[in-house]
Every structure is written in C-alpha cells, then in structure tokens.
Amino acid sequence: MQNSSSRPNFIEGGVFDKVQMSKVYAVQNQKSRLNQILGDNMDQQYITRTQFLNRGHLAARADFVMRATQKASFHYINAAPQWMRGNAGDWAALEDALRRRISSYETGVQVYTGTHNVATLADKDGHLQELFLHVDSNNNRIIPVPMYFYKLIYDPKKKTAVAFISINSSYYNNTMIDKLTFCNDICDDNRNYSWLKWRPNDGTHSFCCEYEEFVKYIDYLPRLNVKAIFY
C-alpha cells in the first residue's frame, strides 16, 4: 500500500456549486447555525472543544491502496457532517474492523456506504429541529447533518450481506435511541461478530441489520441477490 505521513487537505470540487465547504465546516459557522436553528447561545450546550461536527469520511482514506485514490477520498462529496465523538468512536471502530475482516476474507466484497435522513437537536423550547449547516441565496437549507451513517457489505459470490448503521448523535436518550434503531440488532451478543468491537464510551449508538430489514428502511440502493447473512 502506498502511504504518506501527511494528511491531504480536503478538496472543494464543484459539487456544491459556489458554497465554500471549508467555511461551512468551520466551528464558528457551526455555532452560528445552531444558534439560528435552536435559539440564542444554544451552541454552548452542544459544541465544545472536543465535540463538534467533523468531516466524516464515507469511504475512508485507509480503504484505498494507491496514493491517488487515497487523495481522492478527500473530496467533499465523500464526506458528511459527523459528530466528532462518533467519528472517532463507533465509525472509526467499524472502519478498522471491516478492513481487518475483509482483508482476511477469501473472496472480494462490495461496500455501499452513505447517509440517511437528517439529524435533530432540541431547541431552547425542547422541540426537535433538523440540522443544516448552510442556507443558500434562495433560503434553501443545504448541507444536512445526517441522522445515520451506514455501510452495507455484500459478497456477490456467496450472496451474503449485512448492514452496519451508526446514529449520528451523542445527545439522544434511550427512548430516542430505541425509536431510531429500525431493525433487530443482529450484532448484539452475537459471537459471529466478535471481530467488531463498538466503542460505547463515545456516547453514540450503532447497530446491525439483516439485508431485508435494512432495505425496507433505506430503499434506494441497488437491489442485491442476498441468500444469507455476512459474518
């Protein structure tokens, strides 16, 4: 694998038109947007020196072999706003575990990764509000903070699949977490997934779905021929 000790800068590209994404992700903009959405000084309840919205990679740099493709992973189209605790916690744990598991696997697999729905936070009156990091010149809300980050793993030879989902917030109580967990968590106390260790101290919640349950909720991915569960 080609590697470099220096971390590339994120590349603006043209996907987001005239929006300068580096400014959108700036912590000062995050604070300003939270105050606009949730009420004055509400940023102080959610953003700290160690907890803020990071540029969460969808496909990680370390997933790629060549330096050119590693650099390409730093295009903003390959990132979404992800709370730092989850980014360095469950999501990083999943990335690391999947690389180890797939590298020891005898056949190639396909990985579908993305985001779904919009995360919410309680405003000053206790009402949940959707989070967007930017408003364009037409007053359209853009750059949503996702509710979910996910990775769907598929082995086309064995026709096995599984989905891993991380809820993008450390601010939800158990009732909210239960509501947001949209499938039976097949990783919970399952020895077949002993290779995956979530990081519970990050304050976020992640879970695993059988393929059919996953696509009932997230239904826009290509339909796959799945016969069994990927372990």
**What is residue 1's predicted lDDT score, i.e. its pLDDT?**
46
Rounded distance between C-alpha atoms, residue 7 and residue 4, angstroms: 7
Tens of pLDDT along 81-109?
A: 999 999 999 999 999 999 999 988 878 89
Cα–Cα distance measured from residue 52 to residue 26, given in angstroms and rounded to the nearest whole number: 10
Of 57, 116, 127, 134, the catalytic one is: 57
**Residues 6 or more apart in contact with residue 205 via CB below 8 angstroms:** 90, 166, 167, 172, 177, 180, 181
User: What pTM, to 2 d.p., does this model score?
Assistant: 0.93
pLDDT at 5: 54
Rounded Cα–Cα distance for residues 192 and 213 (Å): 19
pLDDT for position 16: 77
Question: Is 87 labeled as ligand-binding?
Answer: yes
**Catalytic annotation present for 134:** no
The residue with tokens 């947001």 is 180
Where do the structural domains in the chain lie, given as residue ranges? 81-229
Which parts of the chain register pLDDT below 70?
Answer: 1-5
